[in-house]
């Protein structure tokens, strides 16, 4: 015996026409045209090889054909099941995307990793209120309860969960304009004789030169250079030849800065970055949903620069 399959739309058409006994009324309540409704009814009738409704000429009114109660009952079962699934999905969506969350991250992460997908995410989750805070200096920073932080980690705080995001490789960069004018440093000691661009918002600028012992680069804890407020300003000035900067290789690729690696044989210093979340907040669907999205952004954007994330990620929400 051939198994009959009915679509949800076909079942809804039959069920609604059974309730209203009028084609125009049923079509209006389903937000379809009367012609579309008649087509759905006809498809069902063709599949069962019998009429479900007796139509009155020109009035649009119908009566139920005799002996089809079992078919109407089956169509009601399909419709009720579909309504239940939709209600569950609405509830899941509301629990997952409703509420307020704070994202705290650096300017470069926001602009180059999350930025390309942020508008799409907001449009997809209109019930979720996202506030963004720029925090380029991560030292001793404790986020609020409903705050998700993308940060380097110096100490592990109790009450927070840390998801490894990526190990960014710090290297030294300069533009062709700078190299042509001042030459290229051959050793780390040569940095003392060059213009160095330092991030003013970092509490300890020595961390930018951590690929060699601090005592070698900073024998007296001093280094002459330009203090720059803001990562984007530093990128701009380096590209135009003001001085040498330290930055991750990944961010140079993502920002497409026209600069060159000054020490290509040096592996560079890795800086581990984590997604940090309050453990209690992490129990909520909204937090897990948002963190899943952060890692989706990472994976998608790294494909564009042919870079594999340092750490794998297991989805928190299923």
CATH for the 168-270 domain, from 3.40.630.30, 3.20.140.10, 3.30.70.270, 3.40.190.10: 3.40.190.10
Please tell me the pTM assigned to this model: 0.63
- Tokens at 69, concatenated: 């109660």
Rounded-to-10 torsion of CA 280, 284, 290, 291: 50
Q: How far apart are CA 46 and CA 40, in angstroms?
A: 10
| 225 or 141, higher pLDDT | 141
Q: Does 8-95 match 97-166+272-304 in CATH topology?
A: no
User: Which pLDDT belongs to residue 202?
Assistant: 47
Give the residue extent of every domain in the chain: 8-95, 97-166+272-304, 168-270
User: Which pLDDT belongs to residue 200?
Assistant: 56
Which class would CATH give 97-166+272-304?
alpha beta
Q: Given a cut of 70, is residue 303 above it in pLDDT?
A: yes
pLDDT tier, 309 (very low <50, low <70, confident <90, very high otherwise): very high
Which 3-state string (H, E, C) describes 140-195?
A: CCCCCCCEEEEEECCCCCCCEEEEEEEEEEEEEEECHHHHHHHCCCCCHHHHHHCC
Burial of 216 (0-12, 13-18, 19+ CB in 10 A): exposed
pLDDT in tens, 131-168: 999 887 666 567 888 899 998 877 788 899 999 999 99
pLDDT in tens, 198-217: 665 544 444 444 334 333 44
The fold for domain 8-95 equals: Arc Repressor Mutant, subunit A (1.10.10)
Q: Which residues of 270-293 are buried (b: 16+ CB within 10 A; e: fewer)?
A: eeebbbbbbeebeebbbbbbbbbb
- Rounded to an integer, the average pLDDT of 230-244 is 85
pLDDT tier, 109 (very low <50, low <70, confident <90, very high otherwise): very high
**Cβ contacts of 279 within 8 Å, gap of 6 or more:** 159, 160, 161
When computed from its CA atoms, the radius of gyration of the chain, rounded to whole angstroms, is: 31
């Amino acid at each position: 015996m051939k198994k009959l399959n009915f679509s949800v739309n076909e079942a809804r058409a039959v069920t609604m026409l059974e309730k209203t006994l009028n084609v125009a009324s049923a079509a209006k309540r389903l937000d379809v045209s009367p012609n579309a409704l008649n087509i759905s009814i006809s498809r069902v009738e063709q599949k069962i090889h019998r009429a479900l409704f007796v139509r009155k000429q020109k009035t649009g009114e119908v009566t139920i054909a005799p002996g089809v109660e079992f078919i109407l009952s089956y169509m009601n079962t399909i419709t009720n099941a579909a309504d239940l699934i939709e209600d569950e999905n609405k509830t899941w969506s509301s629990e997952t995307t409703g509420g307020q969350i704070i994202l705290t991250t650096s300017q470069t992460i926001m602009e180059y990793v999350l930025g390309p997908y942020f508008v799409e995410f907001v449009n997809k989750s209109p019930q979720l209120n996202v506030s963004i805070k720029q925090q380029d200096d991560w030292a001793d920073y404790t986020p609020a309860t409903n705050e998700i932080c993308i940060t380097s980690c110096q100490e592990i705080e109790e009450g927070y969960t840390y998801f490894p995001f990526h190990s960014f490789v710090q290297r030294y960069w300069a533009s062709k304009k700078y190299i042509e004018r001042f030459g290229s440093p051959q050793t780390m000691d040569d940095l003392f004789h060059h213009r160095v661009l330092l991030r003013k918002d970092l509490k300890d600028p020595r961390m930018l030169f951590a690929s060699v012992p601090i005592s070698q680069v900073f024998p007296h804890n001093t280094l002459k250079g330009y203090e720059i407020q803001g990562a984007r300003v530093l990128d701009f000035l380096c590209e135009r030849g003001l001085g040498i900067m330290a930055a991750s290789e990944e961010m140079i690729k993502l920002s497409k800065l026209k600069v060159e690696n000054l020490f290509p044989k040096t592996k560079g210093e890795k800086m581990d970055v984590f997604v940090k979340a309050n453990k209690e907040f992490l129990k909520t669907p909204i937090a897990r949903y948002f963190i899943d999205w952060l890692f989706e952004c990472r994976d998608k954007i790294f494909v564009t620069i042919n870079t594999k994330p340092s750490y794998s990620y297991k989805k928190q929400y299923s």
